[in-house]
Structure 1
Amino acid sequence: MKKILVTGSNGLLGQKLTDIILPDPEIELIATSVGANRHPVPAGYIYEEFDIRDANRLNELIEKYRPDTIINTAAMTNVDTCEIEQELCHALNVEAVKNLVAACDKHDVHLIHISTDFIFDGEDGPYTEDAEPNPLSYYGTTKLEAESLLKASSCRWAILRTIIVYGIVSDMSRSNIVLWARGALERGEPINVVNDQWRMPTLAEDLAMCCMLAAKKEAEGVYNASGKDLMSIIELVERVADFYQLDKSLIRPISSASLNQRARRPKRTGFILDKTIKDLGYQPRSFEEGMRILDKQLKQRASS
């Protein structure tokens, strides 16, 4: 029996990890997050309220449950909010990771940490795992700093870098670009969408599966873990419109500069996935396959 402790289990990725682990008889799950458990299935695993900034509580949980692997999905990810609330961003994205690294080193726990394409400047994507980072935002800077903490440590670690995670769970704390675009277009609302940024959107189930592959293999090193289709943000939204047969004339192309966002975004990211596919057996779905999975889940929610 392998014990896995998940931080941030109330988030989109955290809940998808619970979905995957629950039917697996070989894994015992300790789910941890701030506040009450949001997952619709309350049994079959342990849930502990936990703020990742609390180093003492972290050590208590590790000593109590003795996990083999910790998957850290907790982070502050709103890029513009990170630019404004830098102290909180640093506490969640760097100081908390520092505590995790120290605790995992002390107790010999395998640590899997989620990182981002925003550690890059977007000048020459798609990127391999060993490409040179150059973050444009404070969010990207903190995520790179966290990566450096893992790389400098003597604990067993894996970093999974991802891009624009989308999906649906029964109790969402925040939306994502696919749900936002679908909702606005269904309501007939015109939406402004940038036409000068390129990404590889990632189905939450795919990222969760990559986490589990890394956990089961106790993989070490950096791995790219995104979707496999590179597209502009406006193409992404147009593909959502096409899938749901919604009015694409509501989609208004704009430049990134005209948005006046607090944080700068990289122009073109994307990842080369060869290493993750070869070493971990990662098999990301196409964007259309991801949309079909999401649509099926939305229909199940509507009928329940």
Structure 2
Amino acid sequence: MKILITGSNGLLGQKLAELLRQQPDVAIVATSRGANKLAGLYPDLPFAALDVTDAAQVAQVLDKQRPTHVIHTAAMTNVDECELNHEPCWAQNVTAVEHLVAACAARRIHLTHVSTDFIFSGEHGPLTEEATPAPVNFYGESKLAAERVVQASAGPWAIARTVLVYGTAHDYGRSNIVLWVRDSLRAGKTIQVVDDQWRTPTLAEDLAQGCWLLARHSAQGIYNISGRELLTPYAMALQVADHFQLDKSLITKADGSIFTQPARRPLRTGFIIEKAERELGYQPHSFAEGIELVGGG
């Protein structure tokens, strides 16, 4: 079994590389558009430069590497950036998927595609795999369009839908809710955290595990891969404060409407993960365990 990872410089890509290196009888190749950030950590990890928006390059890399499975993590995921820059968002989130689907189907390569709860309106939640999509922002529209491309593939495919992924990675610029709350409270800062949005936050290691299980089983269809607990960001922040014994009075409950953001957010999503638990043996960490793993001491 040989697995090619797209977007290996990202949070999920790095967690997948770390996980898959430990699996017996699995060969892996990391790919990314930029320079290989994992070279210092895993100097023996095979790497190929790949811009997934370039159809010829996708075909060339797949022909050279000859993977049995592709796990596609590369995407433009900054929701507000997508709202303001439609063309690059569509190129990275839809056109790239069209290239990968065509190339994988032609070579009978199993494709695992990572999607999002932002394909939903936020009127209902938590959601099963059968829920009807209705995105409220352009990022969600692009990810839904990508799902439809994958679902129309003549080749083997699985879609891993996830929610509010958090974690830390090497040379990774973004923060996450655990570190942001911890560091703000340690600095004595007052923070406003929304209490009218609901999610099932997902530890990056758990999402990597879910993607690996989909590839290992050569699963077919849509699977919800997230945490179990339906929480507001405010409730998450309180848990972080409790874990690190920090001053909860610095956390102010806020309504999402007070924040000026280009893109609307769905209010209530979150996933029911029984299908992944039943069919794949997926077992995510609790949010408290995730805080311990991400936040350290």
- Name the % identity: 51
> What's the secondary structure of 2:8's corresponding residue?
coil
Q: Is 2:179–2:295's contact at 8 Å kept on the other side of the alignment? A: no
What do the CA deviations read for 1:157-202 (whole angstroms, capped 9, x no partner)?
1000000111112221322222222222222221111110010110
Unaligned segments of structure 2, at least 5 residues: none
Is the aligned partner of 1:56 residue 2:52?
no
The match for 2:25 is: 26
Partners of 2:32 and 2:108 in 1: CA distance: 22
User: 1:146, CA displacement in angstroms?
Assistant: 0.3
d(CA) in 1 for partners of 2:236, 2:114: 23
Cα shift at 1:41: 2.2
1:176, 1:91 → 2: CA distance? 26
Aligned match of 2:70 = 70
Q: Which runs of 4+ in 1 moved over 4 A?
A: none
The answer to whether structure 1 residue 38 and structure 2 residue 11 are counterparts is: no
Shift of 1:248: 1.4
Residue in 1 that maps onto 2:201: 201
Quick one: distance in 1 between partners of 2:91 and 2:176?
24
Q: Structure 1 residues 217-226 or 41-50, which shifts more?
A: 41-50
Question: Counterpart in 2 of 1:8?
Answer: 7
CA contact (8 A) 1:195 1:234 kept: yes
Is the contact between residue 178 and residue 294 of structure 2 (CA under 8 Å) also seen in structure 1? no
**What aligned pairs does 1:135-284 form with structure 2 within 5 A after superposition?**
135-284=135-284
TM-score by length of 2: 0.97
1:10 partner amino acid:
N
Partner residue, 1:134: 134
After TM superposition, the structure 1 stretch with the greater mean CA deviation from structure 2, 120-129 or 178-187, is 178-187
Aligned-partner Cα distance in 1 for 2:71–2:157: 10
Deviations along 1:254-302, whole A, 9 cap, x unmatched? 2111112111111111111110100111001110111122234xx6xxx
Name the residue aligned to 1:124.
Answer: 124
- Answer whether contact 1:160 1:223 (CA < 8 A) is retained: yes
Cα distance in 2 for partners of 1:292, 1:273 equals 22
- In structure 2, what is the Cα distance between the partners aligned to 1:72 and 1:187? 38
CA RMSD of aligned residues (A): 1.1
Aligned partner letter, 2:11: L
8 Å CA contact retained: 2:178, 2:295: no
Aligned length: 296
Opposite residue 141 of structure 2, the aligned amino acid is: T
Q: Is the 8 A contact 1:22 1:44 kept in 2?
A: no
What do the CA deviations read for 1:27-66 (whole angstroms, capped 9, x no partner)?
1111001222112423332111222111111111110011
Q: Which one-letter code corresponds to 1:64 in the other structure? A: K
- TM-score, normalised via structure 1 length: 0.95
Paired residue secondary structure (1:199): coil
The answer as to whether partners of 2:200 and 2:271 remain within 8 angstroms in 1 is: yes
Task: Give the CA deviation at 1:238.
Answer: 1.2
- Report SS of the residue matched to 2:47: strand
Question: What letter matches 1:34 in structure 2?
Answer: R
Asked if the contact 1:114/1:160 (under 8 Å) is kept, the reply is: yes
Moved more, 110-119 or 39-48: 39-48
